[in-house]
Amino acid sequence: DTGVSQNPRHKITKRGQNVTFRCDPISEHNRLYWYRQTLGQGPEFLTYFQNEAQLEKSRLLSDRFSAERPKGSFSTLEIQRTEQGDSAMYLCASSPKGQTRGGTGELFFGEGSRLTVL
């Protein structure tokens, strides 16, 4: 399967614990995006990478959230000291660079990682 892969698919944790999600994008895609989605809402942009460079992180929800893409391949999203309000679906997407001139093209999404904080 050559789609976007996310792990784990489900994570239940206690408040105050740290969690990490991994995303493996489509191999030839150099852009990688993280979104968060709560029930009944659309995906909310968090951050994105072009290769290993994090180009936009102003939308990360707090300093408890951090993301890395160390070698320009897979990425991790870490949430430290989780709170109940962090419960959501965390979605990863990838796209090739320069897909459409002057604007972002189609995103390819993974199936998401659902976080439940007790």
Partner 1 sequence: SQQGEEDPQALSIQEGENATMNCSYKTSINNLQWYRQNSGRGLVHLILIRSNEREKHSGRLRVTLDTSKKSSSLLITASRAADTASYFCATVGTYPSGNTPLVFGKGTRLSVIA
Alpha-carbon gap, residue 67 to 73, rounded angstroms:
13
In sequence order, the 6+-apart residues with CB closer than 8 A to the CB of 69 are: 32, 49, 51, 52, 54, 75, 76
Of residues 80 and 108, the one with the C-beta less far from partner 1: 108
Query: Helix or strand or coil: residue 106?
Result: coil
Which residues ranging from 88 to 117 are in contact with partner 1 (CB under 8 A)?
91, 93, 100, 102-112, 114
Which range binds partner 1 by CB under 8 A, 19-27, 53-61, 64-72, 75-83? Answer: 53-61
Residues lying near partner 1 in the complex (CB under 8 A) are found at 4, 33, 35, 40-45, 48, 55-56, 58-59, 91, 93, 100, 102-112, 114
